[in-house]
Amino acid sequence: MQTVSENKCFGGVQGVYRHASEACGCDMTFGLFLPKETADGPVPVLWYLSGLTCTHENAMVKAGAQEWAAEAGIALVFPDTSPRGEGVANDEAYDLGQGAGFYVNATEAPWAPHFRMWDYVAEELPTIITANFAVAEDRQAITGHSMGGHGALTMAMRLPGRFRSVSAFAPISNPTQSDWGRKQLGAYLGSDESRWAPHDSTLLMQRLGFDGPVLIDQGSKDQFLDLLKPEALAHAMMERRQNGQFRMQAGYDHSYFFVSTFMRDHIAFHAEALFQD
């Protein structure tokens, strides 16, 4: 593993690291914030999954998460959103290919050799981080924005016991019924729509739910509301009587101005679950 950079940040260290990924068959880069408490031993960790077009850097620089994570004594992981590099398939559209991995394991050409982001985020990267850094394996939570909110919710529900809490900012909530989903799931997983269902948080909420608290924030002026379909997830949560909150934030759009405004709330929400005995 190569250290790309390490910077002092709110008493801790914001690092960027690169490693050869077995899951993705290429080099992958991730950001990791470690609070000062890691000097005394492993700390709880919050995973942040980013959205379309993002790298590891977007949330790391724009979300304002480190201040609140340092205050709570929590580590933050910022994975990339897709495999990258020479020989990795791509598309001219911004919402398919590099920068748009959708947190699935692709089975279709030309994506299958590298686009295995489910395995990367759910299995490979956690193993690397817990082996090399002072991060607690048994105190984890997950959040994300847009495509990353979709990834966070689907992983939380499909990996019971892994995460103590889950939250999302403007998640792609019902991708099997949206152009932000049908296009990508069809490309990566093929035309059999039964293979898409495990990657739809609304369908998973109806079928499985989550065994912990859930927090969703959605901006009422989000320019992508028709693609995100938040009402489907809100209805599924209500129907299931899921332990959680779905908050419609008046006047906010889809940007990192929205994310950074409510980041403190989300980290406090996760800290409560992460430090519970």
Catalytic residues: 146, 222, 254
- Which residues lie closer than 8 Å to 275 by C-beta, 6 or more apart? 44, 139
The alpha carbon torsion through 83, 87, 93, 96 (nearest 10 deg) reads -40
**Secondary structure class of 77 (helix, strand, coil):** strand
For 62, half-sphere exposure in the C-beta direction (CA atoms, 13 angstrom radius) is 14
Query: From CA 192, how far away is CA 180, in angstroms rounded?
Result: 17
Whole-angstrom distance between the N-terminal and C-terminal Cα of the chain?
33
CA angle centred on 23, ends 19 and 29, rounded to 5°: 30
Residue the block writes with tokens 């998973």: 204
- Which residues lie closer than 8 Å to 1 by C-beta, 6 or more apart? 17, 18, 19, 128, 132
